[in-house]
Structure 1
Amino acid sequence: MSDTQEPAPPPVASDMQTDYTVGQDNIEGSLGPFGFDIHNRVFAISALSSVVFIILTLVFPGRAAGIFQSIVSFSTGTLDSYFMIVVDFFIVFSIALAVLPYGKVRLGGPDAKPEYGYLSWFAMLFAAGIGIGLLFFGVLEPVYHANVSSPLNVPSPFGADGTLNPGAIADATAMGLAGTYLHWGIHGWAVYVVMALALSIFTYNKGLPFSIRSAFFPILGDRVWGWWGHIIDILAVFSTLFGLATSLGLGAQQANAGLNFVFGLEVNNFTQVAVIVMVTAAALVSVWRGLDGGVKRLSEINMLMAVVFFLFVLFAGPTLAALAGFWNGLEAYVTEFIPLSAPFGRDDDAFRQSWTIFYWAWWISWAPFVGMFIARVSRGRTVREFVICVLLIPSMCIFLWMGVFGATALEQLYSNPAGSLVKEYVIDNYSPELSLFGMLNELPLSGLTSTLGIILALIFFITSSDSGSLVIDTITAGGKIDAPRPQRMFWATVEGLIAIVLLLGGGLSALQAGVTATAIPFSVVMLVMCYTIVKALNGELQRIK
């Protein structure tokens, strides 16, 4: 994630002016042991709860695994329609803000000017959304959805006897990519719109601290600086922690798989834990170097390597088939958007419950993380251009990546099913962490590109941990962005430890459980945010008039 220069918030707007000096004393905290900026109860409760969770999961891994599996079953089986409705509502809400008069409100006030040109802003929006998921799922999802669990029950090209059916290839490819676009497109970015817009309005237009709790001032008033606000921020901390831990866990699995594929290193928990430890250590060095010398430099390297990696796959592989697959998948995504998004009346429970609900929970858990970043770089934009650009620009970049990687893998699969490693890793012997390397194996310079893929995954890993520790630190320090280094290093360490205990306590199901368990209460927080956003925008419209 790219670094940005933090703009100073304007004075508190008239409709939000209040004497919250006493309340702000509660959230400012003071320097404590080890140089920590102890922020009221949020830091203490979040830190203590994280340590207790880590210890209990390590001491009772069997019991923890059972609990994690129960959470996943409840979230995906019982609450599947709830999550579908909530995320669909965020899309409708975001679009309504753009088309209604609210769209002309400017973040930061009528005279605010954007700090970044469109090109820089677009690049940072894209950087906010890329991560280990592009590498882990870029090949896996399109191939899996096209051949195993197709959205809207499109017939698989492989029949019951395993024989390839050429007539079904085009439809399966298009819907496999459409299902992938569903999970990485505007649904998730609508979640980020809500969070980022709330933070932007209440920080830049209302002059309140850069904290999740500030969005609830219209409802809670001065009580937002007390326990109600503490609870909101604590939920945001745990949501971010488990969302990041899921990404770190997936990254460790893929890095381990890549090291096995290229160098023969054994795939096991010990190796994955070692990867997390080494990468967390690198993240700690990045944290110590600071934003300019750490996250910013790594993000620039990350972006350059990602572009080179993408262009290699595009031009070294079946270029025309890759571009055609991207476009056909996009067309299917648009035409089937409503059926794919519908929470009811669909006979594809395996697709919805095993994939879609996990993604919606994951996006919600990442909302404080990515939403804070988007808010920091979007001051001066109108609500209308903010919503349109945040929904569309990152989505299209991700569609292009997923479309090219997915269509390339599918072309390899259908051209030579018998010898396809992609088929082996995704369809025959499900090994999702190897899917990317199976595709790269059939391109030139596979050893070099697989090594590049491992390095890219590790850098994604490091930048996510470093940026995540900054966001969590900002929340636990009452909206400050300059809390002491030891505090950020503490949170980077906790993120790594939670990823480790989730892997040891149940693997992928534990990672999914951590995300869904925190997304359930935080989704309610975000629904209430929609009301406070409208309330704040009504005040801004009155000021414009």
Structure 2
Amino acid sequence: MSSEDTKSEIDTDYEVGQDNIQILGLDIHNPVFAISALLIIAFVLLTLMFQEGAEAFFGWLRPWLTTQFHWVFVIGANVFVIFCLYLIVSPYGKLRIGGEDATPDYSYTGWFAMLFAAGMGIGLMFFGVSEPISHFSSSFADNAGTAESWAPLGGAAGDAEAARRLGMAATIFHWGLHPWAIYAVVALSLAFFSYSCGLPLTIRSSFYPILGERVWGWPGHIIDVLAVFATLFGLATSLGFGAEQALAGLNHLFGVPVTDPVKVGLIIAITGVALMSVVAGLDAGVKRLSELNMALATLLLLFVIIVGPTVAILTGFFGNLAAYLRELPALSNFIGRSDQNFYTGWTTFYWAWWMSWSPFVGMFIARVSRGRTVREFLVCVLLIPSLVCVLWMTAFGGTAITQIVQDGFMGVANADLPVKMFVMFSQLPLTQITSFIGIVLVIVFFVTSSDSGSLVIDTITAGGKVDAPMPQRVFWATFEGLVAIALLLGGGLASLQAAAIATGFPFALVLLAMCVCLQMGLNNELAAYKARQAAAS
């Protein structure tokens, strides 16, 4: 069945299945909004009322999930990478999202800016220094290579250069092809079934090839509710990291106390700014803030490259990329690992985090990617951001490692995770300025993530409508901040990570099924494309 045939069939089904109601100025897709909103409100209230119990529960949940179901995340992430690379080189690559005559809605500059702001902005700021330092330190330590080592692949005890290469390879592994493949699968599925097949822009639409009309019933409702929870908790994790780092920077720069009331106040203040961006809309709000972020991030990156160990960064980019590709098969394998703490503590958490965040990032990328070919889309979403992440980690993490190895500066190694970046800046010129820009970047990334997330959740709970009433977006933006507050007070970063893993696990199964549906849809579209070409010739 071609996309044209699918559109005519879907239009009738969608009108029958659509169950939106208008109440108090809202346009609600009845079961999805009601169930999601009530459960989220209950979660926030219970977590705030029973903070000690929540902390104990989340403290148990994360290690249980990562030790019992790590293989689900690892196999799923590997499948997504292989699937995306296959689509790039396959005949499906020439198909255009939205039809043969579709044109892109945004320039490459605006498109790339929104990709990075939505994809992993806060994460790069939080982990750009802290993760390379953590892997380098554990790899270099005398106890690296033990059965329970935190060092990746057993480490490189006593060899600073080998520890550097292994630490950077492990870091890039978590920020390279695998996370962007997860995002790309969701984004391409949503964009294709929405713009090429005429389905509403919501997660359930990707499952039309196997569910048919049932996609408008309870199977579709369950998929969308899972997507709402995955998006909300994935966002809350990112917002929690952002709040921790912004407050750490303010403490480092201005002596602002790091206390729970201050954390709550900071999240409330930044959420308020996000609400203003929500009201401004996609083009006036998210797009402009994303471009501002891209400019500031580029400026900060160039500054570190120029005033830091420039030669080591530029040569390290290629060396780290080669190390990543060399170690990629071993890092991707979950059988017979000697680095179980690294594997379950870092890799499994990351894959779960990316999967829980994928509905948000995927739908946002889909909304701004009409008119791109499948090949162009995947190359830009998968490969180019991965290379930028390699450069970012090489510049920030490589500079910090050089400070330790060559300068003997151990302050960056001994600092807490949220403050490591600012400690690294303290050894570079213009410390006050760069630290302040870093804080601004974290805050603006916080705002764009919250703004974009509220757009995505609002679209899902409104049955795929991209122009749902403003009060709904305000509601979800507000509760993104409240969930982050509840998790921070109910266990801190450990609770945030546990929540991301808990929602990422069921969504990993959803994403695997999404690959099957996308393959079926692309098969039909390619057959119709070939038929049109044959008729024209």
Both structures adopt the same fold (TM-score exceeding 0.5): yes
Paired residue for 1:81, among 63, 67, 71? 71
Paired residue for 2:133, among 138, 143, 168? 143
Answer whether contact 1:150 1:156 (CA < 8 A) is retained: no
SS of residue in 2 equivalent to 1:138: helix
- Distance (Å, rounded) in 2 between the aligned partners of 1:494 and 1:323: 43
The equivalent of 1:276 in structure 2 is: 267
Opposite residue 161 of structure 2, the aligned amino acid is: A
Aligned residue runs from structure 1 range 417-496, under 5 A: 417=408, 419-425=409-415, 431-496=416-481
- Distance (Å, rounded) in 2 between the aligned partners of 1:19 and 1:534: 19
The equivalent of 1:163 in structure 2 is: none
Answer whether contact 2:10 2:199 (CA < 8 A) is retained: no
Q: What's the offset of the Cα at 1:366?
A: 1.2
- Distance (Å, rounded) in 2 between the aligned partners of 1:248 and 1:381: 30
Range 48-57 or range 310-319, more displaced: 310-319
- Distance (Å, rounded) in 1 between the aligned partners of 2:112 and 2:380: 8
Inter-CA distance 68–297: structure 2 relative to 1 (3 Å threshold): same
The equivalent of 2:348 in structure 1 is: 357
The equivalent of 1:52 in structure 2 is: 42
Opposite residue 411 of structure 2, the aligned amino acid is: L
The equivalent of 1:335 in structure 2 is: 326
Opposite residue 477 of structure 1, the aligned amino acid is: A
Range 128-137 or range 240-249, more displaced: 128-137
- Distance (Å, rounded) in 1 between the aligned partners of 2:313 and 2:187: 33
The equivalent of 2:15 in structure 1 is: 24
Opposite residue 494 of structure 1, the aligned amino acid is: F
Paired residue for 2:251, among 222, 244, 260? 260
The equivalent of 1:160 in structure 2 is: none
The equivalent of 1:152 in structure 2 is: 153
Inter-CA distance 60–329: structure 2 relative to 1 (3 Å threshold): same
- Distance (Å, rounded) in 2 between the aligned partners of 1:184 and 1:481: 30
- Distance (Å, rounded) in 1 between the aligned partners of 2:283 and 2:371: 23
Opposite residue 125 of structure 2, the aligned amino acid is: L
SS of residue in 2 equivalent to 1:304: helix
Q: What's the offset of the Cα at 1:421?
A: 1.6
Paired residue for 2:193, among 198, 202, 226? 202
- Distance (Å, rounded) in 2 between the aligned partners of 1:230 and 1:501: 26
Opposite residue 195 of structure 1, the aligned amino acid is: V
Q: What's the offset of the Cα at 1:402?
A: 1.1
Paired residue for 2:123, among 125, 133, 138? 133
Matched, 1:507 2:526: no
Paired residue for 1:99, among 67, 89, 94? 89
Inter-CA distance 498–119: structure 2 relative to 1 (3 Å threshold): closer
- Distance (Å, rounded) in 1 between the aligned partners of 2:20 and 2:13: 12
Inter-CA distance 138–517: structure 2 relative to 1 (3 Å threshold): same
Aligned length in residues = 518
Inter-CA distance 468–81: structure 2 relative to 1 (3 Å threshold): same
Inter-CA distance 42–350: structure 2 relative to 1 (3 Å threshold): same
Inter-CA distance 26–543: structure 2 relative to 1 (3 Å threshold): closer
The equivalent of 2:26 in structure 1 is: 36
Range 100-109 or range 195-204, more displaced: 100-109
Paired residue for 1:523, among 478, 488, 508? 508
Answer whether contact 1:150 1:172 (CA < 8 A) is retained: no
Answer whether contact 1:177 1:326 (CA < 8 A) is retained: no
The equivalent of 1:404 in structure 2 is: 395
Matched, 1:179 2:161: no
Opposite residue 59 of structure 1, the aligned amino acid is: M
- Distance (Å, rounded) in 1 between the aligned partners of 2:433 and 2:267: 23
The equivalent of 1:111 in structure 2 is: 101
- Distance (Å, rounded) in 1 between the aligned partners of 2:348 and 2:10: 42
- Distance (Å, rounded) in 1 between the aligned partners of 2:432 and 2:247: 15
Q: What's the offset of the Cα at 1:497?
A: 0.4
Opposite residue 467 of structure 2, the aligned amino acid is: D
Aligned residue runs from structure 1 range 203-218, under 5 A: 203-218=194-209
Answer whether contact 1:195 1:371 (CA < 8 A) is retained: yes
The equivalent of 2:56 in structure 1 is: 66
Opposite residue 510 of structure 2, the aligned amino acid is: V
Q: What's the offset of the Cα at 1:232?
A: 0.5
Q: What's the offset of the Cα at 1:380?
A: 2.6
Inter-CA distance 294–374: structure 2 relative to 1 (3 Å threshold): closer
Answer whether contact 1:288 1:485 (CA < 8 A) is retained: yes
Matched, 1:415 2:406: yes
Q: What's the offset of the Cα at 1:377?
A: 2.7
The equivalent of 2:225 in structure 1 is: 234
Query: Deviations along 1:450-499, whole A, 9 cap, x unmatched?
Result: 12211111111111111110111011111111111111111011000000
SS of residue in 2 equivalent to 1:266: coil
Inter-CA distance 20–224: structure 2 relative to 1 (3 Å threshold): farther
- Distance (Å, rounded) in 1 between the aligned partners of 2:527 and 2:196: 13
Identity of aligned residues (%): 53
Aligned residue runs from structure 1 range 286-301, under 5 A: 286-301=277-292
Give the gaps of 5 or more residues in structure 2.
139-149, 531-537
SS of residue in 1 equivalent to 2:30: coil
Opposite residue 385 of structure 1, the aligned amino acid is: E
Query: Deviations along 1:100-151, whole A, 9 cap, x unmatched?
Result: 3323322222333444455554444344424111110000011110111332
Q: What's the offset of the Cα at 1:26?
A: 4.7
- Distance (Å, rounded) in 2 between the aligned partners of 1:141 and 1:281: 30
Inter-CA distance 182–66: structure 2 relative to 1 (3 Å threshold): same
Query: Deviations along 1:206-238, whole A, 9 cap, x unmatched?
Result: 111111111111111111111111111110000
SS of residue in 1 equivalent to 2:9: coil
Opposite residue 435 of structure 1, the aligned amino acid is: K
- Distance (Å, rounded) in 2 between the aligned partners of 1:209 and 1:14: 16
The equivalent of 2:521 in structure 1 is: 536
Answer whether contact 2:117 2:449 (CA < 8 A) is retained: no
- Distance (Å, rounded) in 2 between the aligned partners of 1:260 and 1:121: 34
Inter-CA distance 289–98: structure 2 relative to 1 (3 Å threshold): closer
The equivalent of 2:378 in structure 1 is: 387
Q: What's the offset of the Cα at 1:23?
A: 4.5
Query: Deviations along 1:68-114, whole A, 9 cap, x unmatched?
Result: 12220122111112211110011111122222332332222233344
- Distance (Å, rounded) in 1 between the aligned partners of 2:77 and 2:284: 37
Give the gaps of 5 or more residues in structure 1.
1-10, 158-167, 426-430
Q: What's the offset of the Cα at 1:515?
A: 0.5
Range 106-115 or range 15-24, more displaced: 15-24
The equivalent of 1:164 in structure 2 is: none
- Distance (Å, rounded) in 2 between the aligned partners of 1:310 and 1:213: 39
Inter-CA distance 533–176: structure 2 relative to 1 (3 Å threshold): same
- Distance (Å, rounded) in 1 between the aligned partners of 2:20 and 2:166: 52
The equivalent of 2:146 in structure 1 is: none
- Distance (Å, rounded) in 2 between the aligned partners of 1:502 and 1:121: 32
Inter-CA distance 294–112: structure 2 relative to 1 (3 Å threshold): closer
Range 121-130 or range 378-387, more displaced: 121-130
SS of residue in 1 equivalent to 2:388: helix
Range 11-20 or range 143-152, more displaced: 11-20
- Distance (Å, rounded) in 2 between the aligned partners of 1:91 and 1:134: 21
The equivalent of 1:188 in structure 2 is: 179
The equivalent of 1:165 in structure 2 is: none
Range 233-242 or range 127-136, more displaced: 127-136
